Amino acid sequence: MDSDLQTLTQALRDFARERHWEPFHSPKNLAAALSVEAAELLEHFQWLTEAQSRELPADKRAEVGTEIADVLLYLLQLADQLGIDPIEAARSKMVANARKYPAP
């Protein structure tokens, strides 16, 4: 795993441990929380046109950034709980996608 992601994952572990949250961070609960945060991200784009979604004002971009962070943090915690390296999983998926959808 990338060292920045390792550092971030360790910070998430420490954060949860300091608050005694580990019992609540089961894969099921983390996947549910991830889904909720992804929906909150989507909410920022609801009813926007394609053009509007590409030209977010600065304040909206900041809000979207916060939701992206929430999604990333829950995803890293879920991967950590399941012992999955998200970088390796993503690389493997990209190889599979390239085979499934070859460039013309």
Q: What domains can you pick out in the chain, each with its CATH number?
A: 3-100 (1.10.287.1080)
* Amino acid at residue number 62: A
Residue 55: per-residue pLDDT: 98
Return averaged pLDDT per consecutive 10 residues of the chain, 104 residues in all: 91 98 97 98 98 98 98 98 97 98 96
With 0-12 / 13-18 / 19 or more C-beta atoms within 10 angstroms meaning exposed / middle / buried, residue 57 is: exposed
CA separation (Å) from 91 to 10, 58, 86? 22, 32, 9
Reported pTM: 0.92
Q: Residue 9: which residues within 8 A CB-CB, separation 6 or more? A: 1, 76, 77, 79, 80
